[in-house]
Amino acid sequence: MTRSLSIMEARKQLNSLPETLMRDGDIDVMEITRRGKPVLAVLPWELYEAIAETLDVMADKEIMEKLRQSIREMDAGTTTSWEEARQELIK
């Protein structure tokens, strides 16, 4: 869920925004507006890192192709069980 604050209100609350995000568990992002239009997003660092990592993965063509192949294998039911993979690693 997103909560909206004017840029003036955000300035007043800047020191308490991290606590507000942690306390209000249903708020993921603070939308900061100027004249009613969104101009900034304030989000917890962990969420930022997760988004950045996801974008890095999505930008890597090799990783994305492996992911697509894995999804195709799952859809086709041609996956390897953990026991089979473990036995293969032991060899």
30 CB burial (10 A radius; 0-12, 13-18, 19+): buried
Residue 26 above 80 pLDDT?
A: no
Domain CATH code at residue 8 = 3.40.1620.10
When the pLDDT of each residue in the chain is averaged and rounded to a whole number, the result is: 90
Dump pLDDT digits (tens) for 61-84: 999 999 999 999 999 988 888 898
Instruction: Give the pairing type, strands 2-6 and 29-34.
Output: parallel
Are 48 and 68 found together in one domain? yes
Give the residue with greater pLDDT, 87 vs 22. 87
Instruction: Give the pairing type, strands 29-34 and 37-42.
Output: antiparallel
Domain CATH code at residue 71 = 1.10.1220
| pLDDT at res. 27 | 67
For range 11-19, the mean pLDDT: 90
pLDDT band for position 9 (cuts 50, 70, 90): very high
For the entire predicted model, the pTM comes to 0.66
For range 34-54, the mean pLDDT: 94
Are 68 and 81 found together in one domain? yes
